[in-house]
Amino acid sequence: MLASLFTLVAAAGVASAHFQIEYPTWRADSLTNASYSQYVFPCAGVPQDVANANRTDWPATGGSLSLDLHHPWTYVFINIGLGENVTNFNYSLTPSFWNETGSGVLCVPHLDLPVGLEPADGQKATIQVVTLGESGSALYNCADITFRTGDVANFGGANCTTDAAVSYTIIGEQTNGTSSSGSGTATTSGSGSSATTGSTTTGTNAGAASGVNKTVLMSVVALAVAFMYGMSA
Ligand SMILES: *[C@@H]1O[C@H](CO)[C@@H](O)[C@H](O)[C@H]1NC(C)=O
Ligand SMILES: *[C@@H]1O[C@H](CO)[C@@H](O)[C@H](O)[C@H]1NC(C)=O
Ligand SMILES: *[C@@H]1O[C@H](CO)[C@@H](O)[C@H](O)[C@H]1NC(C)=O
Ligand SMILES: *[C@@H]1O[C@H](CO)[C@@H](O)[C@H](O)[C@H]1NC(C)=O
Ligand SMILES: *[C@@H]1O[C@H](CO)[C@@H](O)[C@H](O)[C@H]1NC(C)=O
Ligand SMILES: *[C@@H]1O[C@H](CO)[C@@H](O)[C@H](O)[C@H]1NC(C)=O
Ligand SMILES: *[C@@H]1O[C@H](CO)[C@@H](O)[C@H](O)[C@H]1NC(C)=O
Ligand SMILES: *[C@@H]1O[C@H](CO)[C@@H](O)[C@H](O)[C@H]1NC(C)=O
Ligand SMILES: [Cu+2]
């Protein structure tokens, strides 16, 4: 079942393009090395002990992330797992996932850690970025980090810039269906280009996604969850 699901998804995907993590440094270049495939969970087939990998110091309160995306649009999920050789990416930095539009660099100056994740200085971890296309094909890349409570070279300044063609919206979590006013979906607009401020969101709770067929949205979420958690089992 797992194998057939995977084959189906791999076959449905676009063979080229994909994406890269520019910051923190990814574990290896999974774009150009034919030994790797971004279709492979959890880290594109790049083993933890691959040569020339770099582990980046990253603030223990959350830090910046820069991606280079090559598809017209994609859903983006960011997870963290603790340890040196992570197999369980059980913390989500995007409880409400992103819908990214445009081809180019997306730099987010500050990503908050989830409540309950308060890493100690020196705690090793791995950031996993999952993108999910319209067809349901997921792509994976990982970046290894060490959490630091002290001063960390901050990438959130002038170096964290987003290409003009790139933006993202935050697709609200499906909340309690019994709540009032049918607002199960909230949408927040974000653009990483306001690089010097800590926040990227300019949050209107406008129903920009209110026209979305929620059945479809739910299946996207279900599929993504299946990928991120089901396939790790
Ligand atoms: C890790 O850093 C070294 C030295 O800067 C560099 O040569 C190497 O390409 C880096 N590895 C990756 C995967 O970027
Ligand atoms: C490609 O990946 C393989 C397997 O990890 C590795 O042995 C090889 O050195 C990599 N090639 C380059 C150019 O990094
Ligand atoms: C990391 O964990 C995987 C899965 O348990 C294992 O196959 C691999 O050998 C481990 N790598 C290292 C460097 O410990
Ligand atoms: C996540 O997994 C780690 C071990 O991999 C565990 O120590 C931690 O308690 C887990 N956290 C949550 C919120 O599941
Ligand atoms: C995500 O963005 C793409 C391109 O703008 C759009 O076609 C798609 O419907 C959006 N998905 C959601 C759930 O808003
Ligand atoms: C930008 O990157 C350069 C080179 O890595 C570094 O020297 C500089 O401090 C960075 N600037 C900011 C504002 O992060
Ligand atoms: C959903 O809403 C109902 C009615 O207000 C409430 O009883 C229930 O606890 C809520 N469930 C969650 C998961 O919030
Ligand atoms: C939403 O999509 C589902 C499945 O494609 C379809 O059965 C349903 O009629 C659609 N609902 C609306 C309001 O378009
Ligand atoms: Cu691609």
- With a 6 Å cutoff on the Cβ, whether 168 touches ligand 6 is no
Report how far apart, in Å, the C-alpha atoms of 31 and of each of 92, 107, 144, 167, 220 are.
24, 19, 17, 22, 25
The pair of three-digit structure tokens given for residue 161, joined into one six-digit string? 């810039």
CATH superfamily of 19-228: Immunoglobulins (2.60.40.10)
Single-letter amino acid code for the residue at 45: G
Does the pTM surpass 0.75? The reply is no
**Residue 183: its pLDDT value, please?**
30
Residues with CB under 6 A from ligand 2: 33, 35, 50
pLDDT at 114 over 80: yes
**Residue 8: its pLDDT value, please?**
37
Mean pLDDT to the nearest integer, 73-89 = 97
Report how far apart, in Å, the C-alpha atoms of 194 and of each of 52, 135, 191 are.
33, 31, 7
What's the gap in Å between 27 CA and the centre of ligand 2?
12
Q: Which residue, 52, 54, 57, 28, is CA-closest to 146?
A: 57
200-216 pLDDT, tens per residue?
333 323 233 333 334 44
Ligand closest to Cα of 216 equals 8
Ligand closest to Cα of 28 equals 1
What's the gap in Å between 211 CA and the centre of ligand 8?
11
